[in-house]
Structure 1
Amino acid sequence: MRLFPQSLRWRLSAVIAVVSAVVAVALSLLVRTEFSRVQLADARRVQDERIQLVVRDYGLTGRAALGSELDSDRVPGPLRDAVRGGRRATYLERGRDGAWIWAAAETSGHVLSLRTSYRDRDAALAQLDNVLIIGSSGVLALGSVLGVVLGGRLSRRLRRAAVAARRVAEGDARTSVGDTIGARPRDETTELAQAVDAMAAALRERLVAEQRVTADIAHELRTPVTGLVTAAELLPPSRPAELVRDRVRVLRSLVEDILEVARLDTAAERAELVELSLADFVRRRVPPVVPSAEVLVLAAAQARTDPRRLERVLVNLLLNAERHGAPPVTVEVDGLTLRVRDHGPGFAEDLLRDGPSRFRTASSDRGGGHGLGLTIALAQAKVLGATLELANAEDGGALATLSLPAEPAD
């Protein structure tokens, strides 16, 4: 169970609220302590002035004036001890009958004492407490609101930056993180967005350069490979000639795959959509590729898609299952969803985690290859607006699921 909110917005709001509460409480305690001290000092001063008048009047008349008492037994013990030796003193007494401010002085062996209620000053302190509580609550509420506003603004900018960064990662060259979040205010978020845009631009330039080199190499190889194919066909029948023809065919297939990947990398490919029965399409295309594969139609549906690209995806998945998996190979048609499954060792964990990568095979257990088949299938599926998911079946084997869109992208 999470004890603290994970959102930056609420974390920032909580920090500002806690800081506001600590500051408000500290200031309130400081104000209350100082007010209480000043109030008590003032009461002592007034009471001391009054006892001086009482002592002066007692010396002239011999009577205790201003409500004072002579040798009263109610004088607190600490005060009585403090005035011994002819001194004056004040004392704050709190008891069941309330708070009292005392003043006493010793004269001619007698103790003159004066007592005044401290209730009014306590009431003023209570009023101050109420004001401080209300003020502290207001500060806490204002701090919380300010935290929510500031945190929400920062969180929204970061979320927009994250969404834009994901679009850039998906290949959207028109998206700019800086433009998405705006240039104001110019803070750390803006600097982060500019850094991400600069990194994306550098990576994009490098990727374009690599794609151009790959395409140029494939184009340059196409002509000599075509010549090799023609020359191989002219060789007289023999075992060496058969091996040469086989290797030339593999080389030609590799060059064609590289050219196809180069075309798909440009993101300029567009699907030519037609209406077709997906079940009939699969029944016709599977046997020529993998005759032993079993086709299961769970639910038939009409699909609007590009037959050539769909066939390319299906053939690559079938060839991958046949070459790198183990029989039986099954193809399921479930509405607009195709599932191609084998019963081999399954896909490697790094392929499932990172996705297909060109010139890297799924795993050593699944045989050799150039790693282009799944890469092309994934790219062609993207052109179709479909999703291709790779997984391992619970009871073993590789499982590829192609989901065609109900409404194809234009």
Structure 2
Amino acid sequence: MSGVRRLGARWRRRRPLRTRLALAASAAVALVAVGVCAAAFFVIRYELLHQLDLSLTQSATRVVQEHRGGGPQVLAGECRYLSAPACAQVVPADPGADPDGPYLLPVEGPVREVAAGTRAPYFSNVTRFGQPLRMLTTRFGDGRALQVALRADPVERGVRQAAVLLAAVGGAGVLLAGVLGYAVSRTGLAPVARLTSTAERIAATRDPRHRIELPPGRPGRQDEVTRLAASFNTMLGELEQSVSAQRRLVADASHELRTPLTALRTNAELLARADRLTPAQRERASGALGRQIREVTGMVNDLIELARDEEPLPLLEEVRIAELAEHAVGTARGHWPGTRFVLETGPGAADASRPGVPARLARLLTNLLDNAAKFSPPGAPVEVSVTAYGEGLEVSVRDHGPGIAAQDLPYVFDRFYRAEAARALPGSGLGLAMARQIARAHGAELTARAAPGGGAVFTLAFAASGPGGGGGAAR
């Protein structure tokens, strides 16, 4: 038995889903069709026999009424030729009282029992004179039984005709079930077939730009399989964006790392011939090598964090944004001694806090301040303000530099993107991209715009609730 189950399971695994669904649907419809035909056959057979039994009962009642006072034991002698409506005979309970001639209908022990009153009337099927008969045996006064028989061949012929007709209908139903099962599986699994074909094509070509063709119709009226295909298309879109971003990151990183690595190699080769250099030349080469190593190390660390595309999930704590901004401004003053930083804290902002990772939020503000200081002209201030409004909190950083051109504004947060005016300045183009990533991980939104009167304004807006809509962690 277990071997049969294993064979069945192996067959199901090897058959396509469309074939299994077609077979299941066909078997279900065929089973219903055959069941209905079988039930109809038994109902027709029962009704025909029931009508025949009613006729026998009526005939027996008529005979009893006509011969209530007695009468001959054989009531219809012409039934030998089966030309009478009914063939009837009376049988006594005592075999000694039988007539001299033979009975026309078979007389057995149960007939004597009915005559004696020890058995209830009953119907039976007999064959007499080469014809099938339906016979009723019932009581006929005291100590006698009445047997009434009718020809059953019309009923049997009707039953056979009904069986042939219902068998033909059942066979047609099975064939129709097969056709409908195939049509249902083909139509119902068409989106799944397209999904499978698209997935196989993507696996073969490694190109996530392929999409599944969806049937026309409003989204609210689509079935589950079509919604699955639409969700798969959405997933493919996200995958395509992820792959494209990964390829751009690799291409941009290789481009950005090529220059500092070349400089590192040059300085390393120069220091390898230190005996030919003066002490001042060795000191300059060593200092340049150290700066380049720090630059490459910082860029690689930034790339690792950006490539992860999510924030780690350490333990959060309530961070006072105003205090964090004051600390970041103090640090920036040490890094940029030639730039004046002005911090302004609005009413209610000093006590405002948000759940977050202090080190990551400090990195965000530091990147914004470094970016502002890099573009600020000598003597121009970098203005930092922390403002509370309702349940929200906003930090803005403004510089008085050349500002952001309209064509550059949509791309300032892209990785490695550097405006034409900033290409001569130091930096890798990763600071703002990392700042936005940290902001989104903390449930905030970082935006940039051109400031009135010149310069740029970067705004970090915290929602009323913490990250994740209620104090959740970074992703």
Aligned partner of residue 120 in structure 1, secondary structure? helix
Aligned partner of residue 107 in structure 1, secondary structure? coil
Distance 1:183 1:165 in 2: 21
Q: What is the match of residue 149 of structure 1?
A: 183
User: Matched residues, percent identical?
Assistant: 24
Give the stretch that moved more between structures: 20-29 or 72-81.
Answer: 72-81
Q: Which deviations, in whole Å up to 9, do the C-alpha atoms of 1:69-111 show, x marking residues without a partner?
A: 2324723433442343399834122458553221243225333
2:15 maps to 1:15: no
Confirm or deny: 8 A CA contact 2:133 2:150 kept in the other structure: yes
Aligned partner of residue 68 in structure 1, secondary structure? strand
Confirm or deny: 8 A CA contact 1:85 1:106 kept in the other structure: no
Distance 2:120 2:236 in 1: 84
Distance 2:142 2:264 in 1: 136
Distance 1:54 1:17 in 2: 55
Q: Partner letter of residue 25 of structure 1?
A: V
Match of 1:176 among 206, 211, 231: 211
Q: Which deviations, in whole Å up to 9, do the C-alpha atoms of 1:14-73 show, x marking residues without a partner?
A: 112221232123222222222222222221211111112112222367342564223247
Match of 1:127 among 125, 141, 161: 161
Aligned partner of residue 116 in structure 2, secondary structure? coil
Q: Which deviations, in whole Å up to 9, do the C-alpha atoms of 1:216-245 show, x marking residues without a partner?
A: 333332222222233334345479x9xx9x
Aligned partner of residue 67 in structure 2, secondary structure? helix
Confirm or deny: 8 A CA contact 1:168 1:200 kept in the other structure: no
Residues 197 and 46 (structure 1), Cα distance of their counterparts in 2 relative to 1, 3 Å cut? same
Distance 1:182 1:237 in 2: 71
Q: Partner letter of residue 54 of structure 1?
A: V
Aligned partner of residue 113 in structure 1, secondary structure? strand
Confirm or deny: 8 A CA contact 2:208 2:239 kept in the other structure: no
Q: What is the match of residue 91 of structure 1?
A: 123
Alignment of 1:286-301 (within 5 A): none
Distance 1:77 1:204 in 2: 91
Alignment of 1:16-165 (within 5 A): 16-59=25-68, 62-63=71-72, 64-65=75-76, 67-71=87-91, 72=103, 74-85=106-117, 89-94=121-126, 97=130, 99-104=132-137, 105-165=139-199
Distance 2:21 2:109 in 1: 56
Confirm or deny: 8 A CA contact 1:13 1:148 kept in the other structure: yes
Confirm or deny: 8 A CA contact 1:79 1:90 kept in the other structure: no
Aligned partner of residue 140 in structure 2, secondary structure? strand
Distance 1:88 1:59 in 2: 20
Match of 2:227 among 164, 188, 191: 191
Distance 2:113 2:38 in 1: 33
Distance 1:171 1:138 in 2: 48
Confirm or deny: 8 A CA contact 1:161 1:181 kept in the other structure: no
Structure 2: unaligned runs, 5 residues or longer: 1-6, 77-85, 92-102, 278-285, 301-475
Alignment of 1:222-233 (within 5 A): 222-233=258-269
Confirm or deny: 8 A CA contact 1:92 1:101 kept in the other structure: yes
Residues 34 and 78 (structure 1), Cα distance of their counterparts in 2 relative to 1, 3 Å cut? farther
Residues 59 and 234 (structure 1), Cα distance of their counterparts in 2 relative to 1, 3 Å cut? closer
Distance 1:41 1:80 in 2: 25
Structure 1: unaligned runs, 5 residues or longer: 259-410
Aligned partner of residue 175 in structure 1, secondary structure? coil
Q: Partner letter of residue 68 of structure 1?
A: A
CA positional deviation for 1:134: 0.5
Alignment of 1:276-287 (within 5 A): none
Confirm or deny: 8 A CA contact 2:30 2:174 kept in the other structure: yes
Residues 128 and 80 (structure 1), Cα distance of their counterparts in 2 relative to 1, 3 Å cut? farther
Aligned partner of residue 176 in structure 1, secondary structure? coil
Distance 2:236 2:157 in 1: 68
Confirm or deny: 8 A CA contact 2:88 2:149 kept in the other structure: yes
Distance 1:225 1:181 in 2: 49
Confirm or deny: 8 A CA contact 2:135 2:147 kept in the other structure: yes
Confirm or deny: 8 A CA contact 1:20 1:143 kept in the other structure: yes
Confirm or deny: 8 A CA contact 1:102 1:115 kept in the other structure: yes
Distance 2:28 2:268 in 1: 82
Confirm or deny: 8 A CA contact 1:102 1:116 kept in the other structure: yes
Distance 1:86 1:159 in 2: 73
Q: Which deviations, in whole Å up to 9, do the C-alpha atoms of 1:145-185 show, x marking residues without a partner?
A: 011112223444323222223344534454212xx243469
CA positional deviation for 1:6: 0.8
Alignment of 1:367-386 (within 5 A): none
Aligned partner of residue 106 in structure 2, secondary structure? coil
In our comparison, the structure showing a higher alpha carbon Rg is: 2
